[in-house]
Each structure stands twice: as C-alpha cells, then as structure tokens.
Amino acid sequence: MSIKITSLNVKGLKSPNKRRLLLRTLNLAKSDIAFIQETHINKAAKIRLTDHRYPMAISAHSVTKRNGVSILLRKTCPFRVTSEVCDSDGRYVLVSGSMHASPCHLLNIYALNARSEQFWVDMTDLVTSLPRGLVIVGGDMNAVPCAAADRRSPAGLERVPGPSGQDKAFYTFLRRTDLLDAWRVLHPDERDFTFYSAPHGSYSRINLFLCNLTCMAMVLRTDIHSITWSDHADISLQLAVPHSSGPWMWKLNASLLRDPEVVAQAQLALEQYFSENAMEDVSP
C-alpha cells in the first residue's frame, strides 16, 4: 500500500477558519500524514488541530505565539505511535513508531531563518541517535541543499547567489546524517521553488523531505504544489510501504473432520504409521 505525506508552512493557525481550511486541504489531498510548521499556537492556548478525519495531532509549541510544529495523522493511517519528542521552543517534533512491520521515525522541523550551527548540530545528534528503521525528515529548513540549483535571484540580477551561512550548516547536517533530498533524487535536472520572498524578490526551495537510504528505496513520487493560501507551497511524498500480515501459521480445516472419507484415510494412515514403527529400538 502507499502512504502520502504532506508538508506545509501555514504561517499561523490562530484563526478557526484557517484551521478548517488546513484540514479541508489535507483531506482533499488525501494526505495520510501531515507535517505542519509555524502554527503560532502557544503552550497555554486550548486550540485543537484535529477533527473526525485527523483525530491525532502531536505538537511542539513555544511559550510565545511563534514557531510551532505539528504532525497530524489521518484516522485510517497505519502509523502506530510509540514515542514522542517535542521541542520546548516549538522548532521540531519527533514521532517514532511503526507502519505495518516497518519501524519508522518522523521528524518535522521549522528551522531558524538565521545562521545557527548549534541548531543543526542538535538535529544531527537527534537523527544519528535514532534506532534502525525508516527516517523521514520534513519541514521548512530555511536553507537549501544547493544554492545554485535551489535559489533564483531577483529579476535583472545575473549573479547566482552563493550559499548562506545557514545553507552551509544545513549541508553539513545532510552530510553527517546521510539523508537524501527526495525531490532532487527524483528530479535531478529540474528547478522548482517552494517559497517566494517579496522583500527580496527571490525564490528558493526551502521546504523539503529528507529520507534515509532505506526509506528512499520506497519513495514512489514527490511533488511541489502551488502556493495558494499560505506563502509557501505545500510539498508531498508518496511511499510504498510493505504490508505485513504477521507470521503465517498452518491451521487444520476443521470441516474436513466431518467428511467420512477423510476420517477413514486418516485412520488408515495412523495404523500404517504405528505398524511400521513398532520395533523395540525405534520410538514411535
């Protein structure tokens, strides 16, 4: 079966109408799992990001109305949660569990928009300490893997922007964790962007899905969608997750015992077995 994961920076969910819009958008997209960034919901607020279609939300909130990340699970999603790690500043949430027989770790990140080497060191330690299994990291990285390919300068400027300090710290994180940029793996020669900065007149691909090698082998497709009601485009990742029905065990068809012919054959077989194994030095 396939699992669809969506990631979107929503730039605030304090409005009830916006929360309903988000849940309706996820439902129409048939998303099984959603990574949401910039919820702007503080820890004291009694705001729910769930409904009858998405009854589970694991969230990390800040003490102030900034940052905030959530992972939402559809009611039919086969992911089973076993543990959670929620950042006290609302920058990341880690959910570990399993999908069918596959151990899986989901990490939703809203990175700082200024250079912070320590943040990426902390993320490196978090990812490299995870037990074996599928690793899916998604969110708003506020950095790009390759500035030449993933940024576009304002119109009229021919100079290709070099990597920022945040880009360099993020690249080090990728190298040390061996995570793969899923969209770039499947679209090696394309250019597309997820965010438009009006003040700078520039485009960038800062909303990403990153996978370990085990997970990347299961990726069917990954897409960048349109910028609609948020200032970021939503992105999606589709995985082919093996379905396991558990270990197989043979069971006797009890209806056979009601068939006289089958019973007679079984009795004859038992008589032959004991007659052939009736020697003193052979145990029956």
Annotated binding-site ranges: 9, 38, 140, 142, 231-232
- Dihedral angle, C-alpha 137, 143, 147, 149, nearest 10 °: 40
Q: What sign does the dihedral 168-171-172-173 (CA atoms) show?
A: positive
Q: How far apart are CA 185 and CA 280, in angstroms?
A: 70
Per the annotation, where are the binding residues for Mg(2+)? 9, 38, 140, 142, 231-232
Q: How far apart are CA 89 and CA 43, in angstroms?
A: 10
CB 57 within 8 A of CB 71: yes
CB 232 within 8 A of CB 198: no
> What is 230-276 written as a DSSP string?
SSBEEEEEEEEPPP----------GGGGG-HHHHHHHHHHHHHHHHH
Q: How many CB atoms lie within 10 A of CB 148?
A: 11
Kindly state the tokens that stand for 200: 């700078």
Name beta bridge partners: 223.
236
Q: Which residues are catalytic?
A: 110, 140, 232
C-alpha closest to that of 103 among 113, 95, 91, 111: 95
C-alpha closest to that of 187 among 155, 229, 227, 219: 219
CB 204 within 8 A of CB 151: yes
Length of the chain: 284
